Amino acid sequence: MYWEKDIETMDRDKLEAHQLARLKETLGNASKSPYYAKVFKDQGLDIQQINALEDVERLPLTTKDDLRQQWPYGFLACSKDEIVRMHSSSGTTGRAIVVFHTANDVDQWTNLVARSMYMTGMRKSDVFQNMMTYGLFTGGLGFHYGAEKLGALVIPASAGNSKRQIQLMMDFDTTYIHIIPSYALHLSAVFEEMKVDPRKDTKLKGAFVGAEPHSEKMRKIIEDFYGFKAYNSYGLSEMCGPGVAFECPHQTGMHVWEDNFLMEVIDPVSLKRVPDGEEGELVMTTLLRDGMPILRYRTRDLTRIIPGSCECGRTHRRIERIKGRSDDMIIIKGVNIFPVQIEKRLMDIPGVGTNYLIILEREGLNDTMLVKVEVQKDFFAGDLKQLENLRHRIVEELRSDILITPKVDLVGPDSLEKSEGKAVRVIDNRKD
């Protein structure tokens, strides 16, 4: 049941003592990097004074912009000779940043991914099809090596080419897949087109879904269609990639691997820590990274720590499904809205299909929101009155939730553009 029982079920006291020891080592290591050496010096920060986990709040926060400005080597805490791998953030917002790993860093990361997969029930006898882009994006290689370490047969399918993906699943009896949730929905239409029923015609029993925010409802739709469990997988390149936090079979939030990461949740405005259980922005510090330690990284991801323990016996705390990024929050007419909020509503309405797009425009002084919503095949081919009722219902439901009256356009199934990577949910055409 556990990949590393001692670590996964370690008493909190012991786990926190381990974290503190690792934090101190990390600080010593970080001070070897040009960036942190300067920051510590400029701020007159004596790292010997950090003697408790709470003291971490005395350290400065690190942002994506800091990483960008230090591009490419400013955060390196070792010589370039020690580096064996480079990755890059997918750059959903702004220019991509780069992250470097030593051989030991790659081993640690690989182990975390293996631990995460094992936790869900995946074993050596399983066949794992990795449907994530291989390359600079961490989702490809990160999962690939984790699954190999676990001993499963890995099919490095990469993203795209939907029909071939389905064929591979059938030919090689794939049992687990790693897939972006928006792509899993898109693929369901291809299954239907090929007249393949994943519940009957494949051996699929689990999926790892992540890389982009998605609602509980979307997970349910995916699980119902494929007949497997979809485990939420959270990670970011700055910390390593996938394997930072993962769901256990109880699927009640994601366990953050606290032996490797120190987490805080802060108020994104005051930057002060919020009490456990309250929502805020996740801040992470690497604890076992040699090549490029990162302290108090502002992930921009909004979540909360789930109080209490998990029935699985793991002591590593859980975070709730990511609600969105503080930087993809839409502000329209003074109202803050997250795309996932809209998704949640849409997915509850019968007749709504699998994809949507939010377009923001400015007309004079007025901001408008258009939501393009794909409609299911039968509905779309149905009578116009029914379609108009559906459109009207969507407008009403969204208005009651987001307090803004959106325009809604219904479009045919599979008509909105698909991305092979993270889905694009918002197009903001408003000029500042």
From residue 43 to residue 82, the character string flagging contacts with ligand AMP as x (rule: CB under 6 A) and all else as - is ----------------------------------------
CB of 255 to ligand AMP, least distance (A): 13
- 222: tokens are 């995916």
313 vs 316: CA distance, rounded Å: 9
- 290 scored as a contact of ligand AMP (CB under 6 A): no
- Does residue 234 belong to the site contacting ligand AMP (CB under 6 A)? yes
- Outline where DSSP puts E strands in 77-197: 83-88, 98-102, 127-130, 153-155, 176-179
312 is a site residue for Zn ion (CB under 5 A): yes
Q: Residue 403 corresponds to which tokens in the numbers above?
A: 């307090």
Q: Under the criterion CB under 6 A, does residue 213 sit at the interface with ligand AMP?
A: yes
Min dist. Cβ of residue 360 to ligand AMP (A):
20
Task: Answer yes or no whether residue 245 interacts with Zn ion by CB under 5 A.
Answer: no
Residue 325 binds ligand AMP, judged by CB under 6 A:
yes
User: Tokens 């030593």 belong to which residue?
Assistant: 102
Q: Does 198 bind ligand AMP (CB under 6 A)?
A: no
DSSP annotation of 52 reads: S
Nearer residue to Zn ion within complex by CB, 1 or 331: 1
Minimum CB separation of residue 48 from ligand AMP in Å reads 32
CA nearest neighbour of 78 among 350, 292, 340, 297:
292
111 and 150 Cβ atoms separated by less than 8 Å? no
If one asks whether residue 211 binds ligand AMP (CB under 6 A), the answer comes out as: yes
Find out whether 121 and 232 touch, Cβ atoms under 8 Å: no
294 binds, among Zn ion, ligand AMP, none (CB under 5 to 8 A by kind): none
Residue 392 CB, shortest distance to ligand AMP, in Å, is: 31
Measured from the CB atom, the residue of 90 and 174 that comes closer to ligand AMP is 90
Q: Which does 310 bind (CB under 5 to 8 A by kind): ligand AMP, Zn ion, none?
A: Zn ion
Residue closest to 217 by CA, chosen among 326, 402, 319, 349: 349
DSSP 136: S
Nearest approach in angstroms of CB 5 to Zn ion is: 13
Query: Is residue 90 at the binding interface for ligand AMP, with CB under 6 A as the rule?
Result: yes
Ranges within 247-286 binding Zn ion (CB under 5 A):
248, 250
CA dist., res. 46 & res. 26, Å (int): 14
* C-beta separation of 247 from 305 below 8 A: no
Cβ atoms of 200 and 209 within 8 Å: the answer is: no
Q: Which residue has the tokens 């449907």?
A: 131
- Residue 109's binding partner out of Zn ion, ligand AMP, none, with CB under 5 to 8 Å set by partner kind: none
Residue 175 binds ligand AMP, judged by CB under 6 A: no
CA atoms of 130 and 142, how far apart (whole Å):
10
Angle at 180 between CA 317 and CA 62, to 5 degrees: 50
Degrees, nearest 5: CA angle 26-30-32: 130
**Residue 301, interface with ligand AMP (CB under 6 A)?**
yes
Token pair, residue 18, equals 């381990």
Count the site residues for Zn ion by CB under 5 A. Answer: 5
Smallest separation, CB 299 to ligand AMP (Å) = 5
With CA atoms as reference, report the closest residue to 301 among 336, 335, 338: 338
For 244, other C-beta atoms within 10 Å of its C-beta total 29
Task: Return the one option of Zn ion, ligand AMP, none that residue 89 interacts with (CB less than 5 to 8 A, by type).
Answer: ligand AMP
Answer yes or no: are the C-beta atoms of 371 and 341 closer than 8 Å.
no
Residue 258 binding partner per list Zn ion, ligand AMP, none, with a CB distance cut-off of 5 to 8 Å that depends on partner kind: none
343 near ligand AMP, rule: CB under 6 A: no
CB of 215 to Zn ion, least distance (A): 21
Q: Which of 27, 310, 394, 416 binds Zn ion (CB under 5 A)?
A: 310
Residues lying near ligand AMP in the complex (CB under 6 A) are found at 89-90, 138, 210-213, 232-237, 299, 301, 322, 325
Residues lying near Zn ion in the complex (CB under 5 A) are found at 248, 250, 310, 312, 314
